[in-house]
Amino acid sequence: SYFKCMVEFCEKVSGMVEPDKAAALEGPMAMLYRYMATYYVAMNKKEETLDCLEKMLQHVEKGRCADTPMRAALWIRFRRMRLTL
């Protein structure tokens, strides 16, 4: 899918740049996984949804947004989605 291609592209780019610059890609990658999770929820694919949400949180933790309101907001969304699945 489109989102998977974007994630693969971001991962390749982050492997080619300096580590401090690669950290800037973690936020956008987290958002891509969030969009993928939303897509999987609509298709009622629970395992894929949870996998994407867990990957999303991993990227949030690795990125510069680890101690920001974005992390808290994503964590709350993850918990809500997990409870409704």
For residues 59 and 27, the answer to whether their CB atoms sit within 8 Å is yes
For residues 53 and 82, the answer to whether their CB atoms sit within 8 Å is yes
**pLDDT tens for each residue of the chain, 85 residues long:** 777 888 888 888 888 888 777 777 888 888 888 889 888 989 999 899 889 988 888 887 777 655 566 666 666 666 666 655 5
**Residue 76: how many other CB atoms lie within 10 Å:** 10
Tokens of 34: 């969030």
Write the CB contacts of 78 (distance below 8 Å, at least 6 apart in sequence). 53, 56, 57
> What's the whole-model pTM score?
0.69
